[in-house]
Structure 1
Amino acid sequence: MPRLLVCTDSYPPQLNGVSVVTAAMVTGLSARGWECAVLAPAYPPALTAPLSQPVTLRHVALPSRSLPAYPDVRLVWPPLRHARQIVRDFRPDVVHCATEFTVGWAGLRAARAYDVPVVTTHHTDFSRYCDAYGVPFLRPVVQRWLGRFHRRAHHTIAPSAAVERTLRAMHVGHTTVWGGGVDTAHFSPRHFSLLSRHRYAMGADFNFLHVGRLAPEKNV
């Protein structure tokens, strides 16, 4: 049975694109016979996870603090000791670092210390946030950080061809495009409800729906 250790700075019950995709990957691989463990921040007990997790999942919740600007985002002091311990105890066949921050970096360093293959995912080009928040001079610094992180991995996953081009511009060559799937049971025409459409004054016309934070970097 293959073993996967996922190291991520964002995981349910926090709700965002990275956490949902990462949890769905863990759930899917567990259903296919993989033994998975997750190293992620701890969240307040009042939050509930939006996705069900495998009963056998080993989940190490690291002490964390909220980010002042975004209370839902949790910050973890670099947990290198925890990462090395779980790599020693769990003995994964591969370590997947889903984010480039403290938990992801700790997983990357621990995996390299124990000669375990590392796969990373580049979900977001955080260097673009510098332009959106008025500090464009920091963009090269953030790009160097991201590029250095992914170049240290054995392979890097990009969710789209555009993201892969961004990685290539940062001199990351070992990449694969792995697009996000759509749950056709959840997002199905059988859920169509004319009553719900009338409730929101949508009628029968075609509508666009935006789901996400109304933040500058989203370019809504």
Structure 2
Amino acid sequence: MVSESFLPTVNGVTTSVVRVLDHLAMRGHEATVIVPAAGSPREYAGFRIHQVPALAYRQFPVGLPNSQVSGLLAAFRPDVLHVASPFLLGAQAIASANRLGVPSVAIYQTDVSGYARRNRLSAASAFAWRLVRWIHEGADLTLAPSTTALADLRAAGVPRLERWGRGVDIERYHPSRRTGAGAADLRARLAPDGETIVGYVGRVAPEKSLERLAELRDIPGMRLAVIGDGPAMPQVVRALDGMPVTFLGALGGDDLADAYAALDLFVHTGTEETFGQTLQEAHASGLPVVAPRAGGPIDLVEPGVDGLLYDPASDSDLRTAVAGLVAAPELRARMGEAGRRRVLGRSWAAICDDLLEFYARVMTDRALAGARI
């Protein structure tokens, strides 16, 4: 497995990588992992972690092509290469695997067009998509997490595509936590007068557009909670100045699960999500979700059933959606129950078993192609 991100960096790429590694260990498979050097552990789930040189860019390590990659692949002789969100490091790994005759599965997780739009880089957008096509066309199979991402990749000319979503820990993220001491204590701190708590969970980064939460200013009976940290925190604090908001910082494990359980409504503002893992965690926790009608959330939220999708181009649609649910506790409860039912079949075990089937497919296809030569 070659990943452009790994522990201690926590993001969607890292989360899916460690879950896959957990599953491979549980199923009795062997793996070795190559990641950018950024203080990563030397092993995870019993698997060796190899670090290669990296440069820091906006708080993220960017792995650089290195002769170690080819040598590690040649020494390990894997049956399949898994490349998570490939860029420079992943591109080299795919090329090395092809030279060794090893099939590869590439996981697409970055909204290139959205990033370019936000930064007004139309020329760079065309170049970025050419780069994406160049990287992914070398892989035997590219897996994308949403219908929107699949459509973008098809439009860019990337071949051999399938959809592979993400799992959710339906045991840890559970509505029953709401009655536990951790969630109850947090609710008392966040909403001492019994207000409705609207919360966001995730990185506080420019692409998350958290400044839009200012549109919720002065909604009666509402308090905000922002769970996460990141480079855009100063701008977000300024944008929400004077609002009833609590910044809880980055949380993990049971603390994060309790924080979800303390909320009444989950809101997401970013329009560049290729998936939207926190939306699934919110649903698993029994929360209705309000998110933009863009990218991954389109697949994750059924409007009027388990949440609402708002028009990200509107100046009032987000406020209207949130205000309506803040004023309707019975509707929130019904939507939260529907959201929980929606994710019950998306355990990480089920999702990772699907991934193993994709591995088997590319291995079989490579073997058949070799037999025909």
TM range (shorter): 0.7 to 0.9
1:115-166 CA distances to partner (integer Å, 9 max, x unpaired)? 1001101101223212212322211100111012111111111111111111
User: Is structure 2 residue 94 aligned with structure 1 residue 108?
Assistant: yes
8 Å contact 1:98–1:120 — kept in the other structure?
Answer: yes
Match of 1:8 in 2: 3
Match of 2:190 in 1: 200
Runs of 4+ in structure 1 over 4 Å off: none
Match of 2:65 in 1: 78
Match of 1:135 in 2: 121
Cα distance, 1:112 vs structure 2? 0.5
User: Is structure 2 residue 38 aligned with structure 1 residue 43?
Assistant: yes
Residue identity opposite 2:48 in structure 1: R
User: Is structure 2 residue 74 aligned with structure 1 residue 88?
Assistant: yes
Moved more, 89-98 or 165-174: 165-174
Match of 2:172 in 1: 186
User: 2:101 & 2:75 partners in 1: Cα distance?
Assistant: 14
Match of 1:97 in 2: 83
* RMSD between aligned residues: 2.1
SS where residue 146 of structure 1 aligns? helix
User: Is structure 2 residue 11 aligned with structure 1 residue 25?
Assistant: no
Match of 1:157 in 2: 143
Q: How many residues align?
A: 205
Instruction: Work out the percentage of aligned pairs sharing the same amino acid.
Output: 27
Moved more, 89-98 or 183-192: 183-192
* 1:169 aligned to which of 137, 144, 155: 155
Q: How has the CA–CA distance of structure 1 residues 190 and 53 changed in structure 2, closer, same or farther, with 3 Å as cutoff? A: farther
Unaligned ranges ≥5, structure 1: 1-5
8 Å contact 2:191–2:197 — kept in the other structure?
Answer: no
- Look at both structures and tell me which one has the larger radius of gyration over its CA atoms: 2
8 Å contact 2:94–2:139 — kept in the other structure?
Answer: yes
- Which protein is richer in helix relative to its size? 2
Residue identity opposite 2:10 in structure 1: L
Cα distance, 1:77 vs structure 2? 2.5
SS where residue 207 of structure 1 aligns? strand
8 Å contact 1:10–1:19 — kept in the other structure?
Answer: yes
Unaligned ranges ≥5, structure 2: 210-268, 270-373
User: 2:96 & 2:21 partners in 1: Cα distance?
Assistant: 20
For normalisation by structure 1, the TM-score amounts to 0.85
